[in-house]
Amino acid sequence: MRKSRLNLFKSTSMLISVLGIIMIISTIIVVAYVGYSIVSSGITNEISSGTQYDELAELKSSYEDLAMKFDSVKSTYYASGSDKIEEFNDAKLELTRANSAIENVQSALDVGKPSNEVDSRIDFAKEKLKVANEAYNNL
């Protein structure tokens, strides 16, 4: 009876040790996978935000060019009369909306918003810049 208890104790002890080793190994694997996922998503986000910063710079450049065009014709419209001033102000309002959309993209990048949200803001800013450009062309 004593030998049987000793064998039972040995086998139970061995089983617990093996289960402990399996749990330690599985914990290491899970931690490694989570670490790999975090690092790889960080790299992907940095690459994505790099192109988004390039698009933002392009938007800002287009806005500055358009703003200079507006400034160059401003005096002509203000000298023409009230109807022309109202038309110019409406077009200038579209330019201001485009600037607001571009600043919205900048703030999303500064805060670190997800890339799909930043992309949608970039598309919106492009659309607003296009509308402002059309408004200038209609002057």
Mean pLDDT rounded to a whole number for the chain:
86
pLDDT 10s digits, 38-74: 887 766 655 566 788 889 999 999 999 999 998 888 8
Place of tokens 């209609």: 138
Residue matched to tokens 């296009």: 130
Question: Distance of CA 113 to CAs 31, 35, 44, Å?
Answer: 26, 21, 14
d(CA 112, CA 3): 66
> What burial letters (b/e) apply to 19-34, b meaning 16+ CB within 10 Å?
eeeeeeeeeeeeeeee
Output the pTM of the full model.
Answer: 0.65
User: Could you tell me the residue ranges of all domains in the chain?
Assistant: 2-137
- pLDDT band of residue 129 (cuts 50, 70, 90) is very high
Give mean pLDDT, residues 18-34: 94
DSSP state of 114: -
When computed from its CA atoms, the radius of gyration of the chain, rounded to whole angstroms, is 32
> Residue 79 corresponds to which tokens in the numbers above?
């000298």
Considering 10-19, 60-69, 73-82, the range whose residues carry the highest mean pLDDT is: 60-69
Task: Read off the pLDDT band of 33 (50, 70, 90).
Answer: very high
